[in-house]
Structure 1
Amino acid sequence: MPAPSSPRTDIQGLRALAVAAVLGFHLWPTSVTGGYVGVDVFFVVSGFLITSHLLRRPIRSGRDLLGFWARRVRRLIPAASLVLLVTLGASALWLPTTTLVTVGREVLASALYVENWALARSETDYLATDELHSPVQHYWSLSIEEQFYVVWPLLFTAVAWVGLQARRRHGSERTTAALAVALTGTVVATSLGWSVWMTWAEPAAAYFVSTTRFWELALGGLLAALLALRATRPARVLVAAGVGQGTSAGPAAATGPAQQVGAEPGTVRSHPGLRAATAWAGLAMIVAAVLTFDAGTAFPGYTALLPTVGALLVILADADRLRGGPGGALRWRPVQWLGDTSYSVYLWHWPLVVIAPFALGRDLGAAGMLGVLVVTLLLSWLSQRYVEERLRFHPLLTRRLGATFAMLGLCVAVVAGAAVGVRDRASAAEQDAVADSRAAVAQAAPCLGAAVVRDPACADPGLVLPPTAAAQDRPVVYADDCWNDSPFTTRTTCTYGGDGPDGPAERIALVGNSHAGHWVPALEEGIVADDWQIDTYLQSVCYTVDAPIELPGAGVTGACRATNAWAVDSVVTGGYDLVVMSNRTHQPLAGVAEQDQGAAAEDAYRETLAAFTDAGVPVLVLRDTPAMPRNVPECLVQLAYDPDACGAPTEVALEPDPLAEAASADTTGLVSVTSVDHLMCDEICHPVIGGVTAYFDHGHLTATFARTLAPEVTSAVRAALGTEP
């Protein structure tokens, strides 16, 4: 392919649009609901440029390959490493200590460019969805690009070798380009197909994994390969409808959101009106995705074709300085500046969005968001000028490949070492806090937690279970992995108690989702004192009704329903003396209007309760506990341990509980309901009660606080069993 003759300002403008979309999405997510597609535009641009470069400068030796990687290293690694180090330091200074283990782990993953795979695992963790977003989460897309830059040149090395052999034997100029078309087309087809399936089957993981995203980079590569193939044909042959020939990047251009790009000479100038329309159509497709997509859009999958094909059309049209095209707007100097600095803007903006509220001690309002934007642009200009450009073209690095890779090793080692240090130090601090809290809890007992509210003679012991320890203070069912998680292919139960020589006095089935599991510590007293045996039938998120619940993933709704049927059947035929049941009814029922959700869920719960009572099994329903508006340990750390500031008005915290409503309406005499709301709420519901942080996230009780609810829970169980003294 010919060398570029002039910069492609339209591609720089495309980059500016992409990073502006991402900025808008992160700063004003309720307005720019689909701004996340800016990343997909970057992928197409990068794939086009990298493939153009590989076709114009084929890799024919090991040194060529190392030289290619060295240019990527100089372009991308220094700025990325600087941002990781600054973010790590700022996190240690301002973020809640409860988050530092996660931050250290994700900075390490980002330094090794596997952050996307780390997020694919954590985002499928039900409990992880309540955690603070990592300030380096945005490195997932950089990780995908870096992985692509490792794999892609290796594939094109083979393409170049085969093409060279064909040229020597047959004088063919077309073999390399034809092979490139076949390669890129195959990757697009297979990766896109896999993306569509994964987005349907495992949407949380599909968003991050490389295999569902490579097609977007390869799509840009396919355009570059088609243009290269066309360049080997007679000049009189035009591309379809006379649309422009496109561009390729210059030798100095590196992939990523901010490199300079060039235009390939000899672009077909036929049908300028059609070319202008093509460019405008491409921009319209991108803007449509930015404004209409939202968190509910199945993505990436086939929906990602709208912004990616839009980006492809803009590149194909080559509308620079074309009358009637968007070139004038894209050439505007501020737009070009944003395109030039887009890589640094992308790096800096997200850590500021996450950390700024903690540094300021308050949530960001409109003024705060504008401040984040200004600081982002300032830091981006400084790092682009004094880090990116200085090291990218530094004579020592450009003349010696070894120096470049030594810099790579140093960057990775320094960032990884710092990340491991922060992670391990934070982990040790957590363990120390847990040990200290256990001693403080033992010393304060029995006057702590709910006992302080229950007994006027109990004095508040002070904060004996602080947030750092509370974040780790989970019921034993978590350590014992007692859950049936999405996609609900397991049938897991756990048994506690009933191991005496004469067997259990009563067998109790604990049924529900995670808001049933957090009652286990409150049942421990009866396990010991009354020789109860507790068998768990616990599902994550999926609440116990024989109705379709809207859950993400292929077949998950049906699997949830089948797991509930298994749990109910197992209890009905299991010879249990009592069912203890609790659920958070959060996910909507499929096919039910929003205004009818509560009544439909209550009807579904009536059927579940009837399945137990028809078999003569009594049921105790524990009303769902209040939910806080945000993660309690993180809130307490951010707001200087001000419990009331992290609480919520009673009418907000006490969410509707259709299970409790259905139980209250039961007429069989076998169903009873117990609530502990009076111990947790007055005018507001409190996140810290009797010196104990009551939640380890936003709505699940800490094990320590749940134990202080044992008198109410065990009394209700005894009453339901008929064993109350």
Structure 2
Amino acid sequence: MSLQQAEPGTTARKSKPTVFRGDIQGLRAIAVGVVVIYHFWPKALPGGFIGVDVFFVISGFLITTHLLKRPPQNIRDVAQFWMRRVKRLLPASFLVILAGLLGVWLLAPITLWQDWGFQAIAATFYFQNWYLSTSKVDYLAEADAPSPFQHFWSLSVEEQFYLIWPILIGALLFAALRFGWKRRNAALLGMGTIFALSLGFSIYATATDAGAAYFSTFTRAWEFAAGALVAALGQRAYAAKKDLTSLAGAWIGLAALIFSALAFAGEMPFPGYIALVPVLGTALILLSHSTHRYSPGILLENRVMRFLGDNSYAIYLWHWPILILAPYTVAEFGVAAQIGALVLTLLLSVLTQKLVEVRFRKFIEVSKLLTAPRFLLAGSATLALAAGSFYAMSGNIMEESKDVTASIKRVNAQVGADCFGSNGLSDACVEAKGIPEGYKQLAPAPIVAKEDKPDVYADDCFAEQADNYAKR
């Protein structure tokens, strides 16, 4: 199995076979494992959010390796690259977004529909990171419940990377050909420049506006570039090594990941310079590729890690919406319910990986009717329509309920009692004929609560206090 086969959707040239990187599956298992543990039990693994950074480095390494072996020659090659990503990633993500919308409709209060509907649209078109960057740093938005689609911020960053990277690689290799440079040197120069500029901006932005910096593509580009730099080293990067230097490098890299997951905390300014620890740790493992008998392979390449690595994408997709919506189904979301949610995550992930990531992707590859572009168009339109319906429905109800005086008069006239606020839950109001069940019997309706703000917010008359964004 080639390196490219470890990243579905790519094709290795027969003339240059490469070895299977089992350690990459182990790294994926670590990445998704620490993220899930952090989200379910944040106190147990306070730095588990670094799993996202591990994913970014792996993506930079794999995609750059593929592009350097098969560089795009024209816009058609770039389009084909994009369509491979569509077939590889979007079927599962679209399924989870659609399931999340169904869960919101069945379980979540209507007060959340408008914001969550818009976030579903942001997730569908992969600009969730920019939405969170501009909204979640607001004081009032900080109090909002996290949506089932919030974790798509990292997938949005990855998709934006996939959109730009083949064009960038093509430009670098064209410049190498034009000026007579070695391709590897051109790639190293380009990746190194991106690494330095993005890291510098990440340190600056994290120090000045940590909330926005956490989600920015520009503060994360250097993490992809770190993996790309390893890939640009060519055979040196993925050739198996048994020397003591590579052995030490692999263990140091793994130790850096373990240290980050245990010692980091959400209150730290991140990514910034402290993200160098997990990023360089991951890059060091990729570069070392130690196959020494005492290498971390026994930890990274066993059956359990292979299973988690193979299903890591689906696990990441499913765990968050299940975690967010599950508490609406039980009286107390204790340990038993959390374990049940985790089991459900694994079950859905395995089914999604086998039936959607593998079989449905192959169906798109051979189908003449449902091609990748048509799937992209149809899927995006369907999800946008569904999410837009949530947004529009809650917006209409909100507009109808904003006139509090008229709402109070209407309800009181129908019931013949004072039904303002909590009195709307009295027996006289609840049991009155002609009053629909649900939020409309209250005056004002709960859905307008988010719009009920003191004048100081409209006047922007309050002091700002620097605070690091702790929600990962």
Pairwise TM-score range, normalised by the shorter structure: 0.7 to 0.9
Query: Match of 2:373?
Result: 405
Q: Select 1:439's aligned residue among 407, 412, 437.
A: 407
Report the alpha carbon displacement of residue 268 of structure 1 after superposing the two structures with TM: 4.8
Aligned length: 438
Which is worse superposed, 413-422 or 347-356?
413-422
1:300 corresponds in structure 2 to: 271
Paired AA for residue 443 in structure 2: V
Distance 1:451 1:332, change over 3 A: closer
Measured after TM superposition, the shift of residue 33 of structure 1 is: 0.7
Q: Separation in 2 of the partners of 1:186 and 1:399?
A: 42
**Where in structure 2 are the equivalents of 1:181-192 lying within 5 Å?**
181-192=188-199
Alignment of 1:421 with 2:389, yes or no, is yes
Task: Say if 1:187 and 1:214, in contact at 8 Å, map to a contact too.
Answer: yes
Which whole-Å deviations, capped at 9, do the CAs of 1:386-440 have from their partners, x for residues lacking one?
Answer: 001113333x525879921111111111111111111111211223344477422
Which residue of structure 2 aligns with residue 127 of structure 1?
140
Contact 2:456 2:462 in 1 (8 A): no
* 8 Å contact kept, 2:421–2:443: no
Structure with greater strand share of residues: 1
1:370-389 matches, cutoff 5 A: 370-389=339-358
Among candidates 459, 462, 465, match of residue 482 of structure 1: 459
Matched, 1:141 2:167: no
Deviations along 1:9-43, one digit per CA (max 9) or x if unpaired, are: 11100000000000001000111111000000000
Q: How large is the Cα RMSD of the aligned pairs?
A: 2.6
State the Cα deviation string for residues 368-400 of structure 1 (Å, max 9, x = none): 111111000000000110001113333x52587
Unaligned stretches of 5+ in structure 1?
232-244, 248-263, 453-458, 484-537, 543-549, 554-725
Alignment partners' CA distance in 2, 1:400 and 1:153: 26
For structure 2, list consecutive stretches of 5 or more residues without a partner in the other structure: 1-12, 431-441
Q: Which amino acid aligns with 1:340?
A: D
Aligned match for 2:117, one of 104, 108, 112: 104
* CA distance 1:450–1:429, change in 2 (3 Å): closer
Q: Is 1:41 aligned to residue 54 of structure 2?
A: yes
How far apart, in 2, do the equivalents of 1:31 and 1:268 lie? 35
1:86 maps to 99
Distance 1:461 1:66 in 2: 60
Q: Deviations over 1:448-487 (max 9, x none)?
A: 87999xxxxxx99775334223333334444xx212xxxx
CA contact (8 A) 2:420 2:443 kept: no
Structure 1: how far apart are the matches of 2:40 and 2:302?
Answer: 24
The answer to whether residue 172 in structure 2 is matched with residue 159 in structure 1 is yes
Q: Which residue of the partner structure matches residue 552 of structure 1?
A: 467
Measured after TM superposition, the shift of residue 134 of structure 1 is: 0.9
Relative to 1, partners in 2 of residues 1:401 and 1:205: Cα closer, same or farther, differing over 3 Å?
A: farther
Alignment partner for residue 539 of structure 1, among 458, 462, 466? 462
Q: Provide the residue aligned with 2:262 in structure 1.
A: 291
- Cα contact 2:114–2:391 (8 A) shared by 1: yes
1:340 to 2:310 alignment: yes
SS of match in other structure, 1:439: helix
* Matched position secondary structure for 1:32: coil
Query: Structure 2 CA distance, aligned partners of 1:24 and 1:437?
Result: 48
CA distance in 2, matches of 1:449, 1:419: 32
Q: Which moved further from structure 2: 31-40 or 57-66?
A: 57-66
Which residue type is aligned with residue 444 of structure 2? L
- Greater Rg by CA: 1
Q: Partner letter of residue 122 of structure 2?
A: A
Equivalent position of 1:65 in the other structure: 78
1:175 has 2:182 as partner: yes
Q: SS of the residue aligned with 1:465?
A: coil
SS at match of 1:6: coil
Do the aligned residues in 2 keep the contact of 1:279 with 1:326 (CA within 8 Å)? yes
Tell me, yes or no, if structure 1 residue 114 matches structure 2 residue 127.
Answer: yes
Q: Offset at 1:274? A: 2.3
> In 2 relative to 1, CA 367–3 (structure 1 residues): closer, same or farther, beyond 3 Å?
farther
The answer to whether the 8 Å contact 2:411/2:419 transfers is: no
Q: Which has the higher contact order (CA 8 A, sep 6+)?
A: 2
TM-score (norm 2): 0.87
Matched, 1:52 2:87: no
2:280 paired residue number = 309
Aligned position for 1:327: 297
Q: Quick one: which amino acid aligns to residue 87 of structure 2?
A: R
Selected match of 1:246 from 237, 248, 270 = 237
Residue pair 2:53, 2:279 contacting (<8 A) in 1 also: yes
Whether the aligned pair in 2 keeps the contact of 1:441 and 1:465 (CA below 8 Å) is no
Deviations 1:109-155 (A, max 9, x none): 11111000000011111101111101100000000000011111001
The residue aligned with 1:503 is: none
Deviation at 1:295, TM superposition (A): 1.5
What TM-score do you get using the length of structure 1 for normalisation?
A: 0.57
Distance 1:370 1:402, change over 3 A: closer
More helix, by proportion: 2
Aligned residue type for 2:159: E
CA contact (8 A) 1:66 1:401 kept: no
Q: Kindly tell me: are residues 12 and 357 of structure 1, through their superposed partners in 2, closer, same or farther at Cα, counting changes over 3 Å?
A: same
> What are the equivalent positions in structure 2 for 1:514-663 lying under 5 Å apart?
538-540=461-463, 542=464, 551-552=466-467
1:60 and 1:160 in contact (8 A); partners too: no
In structure 1, how many angstroms separate the alpha carbons of the residues matched to 2:377 and 2:429? 52
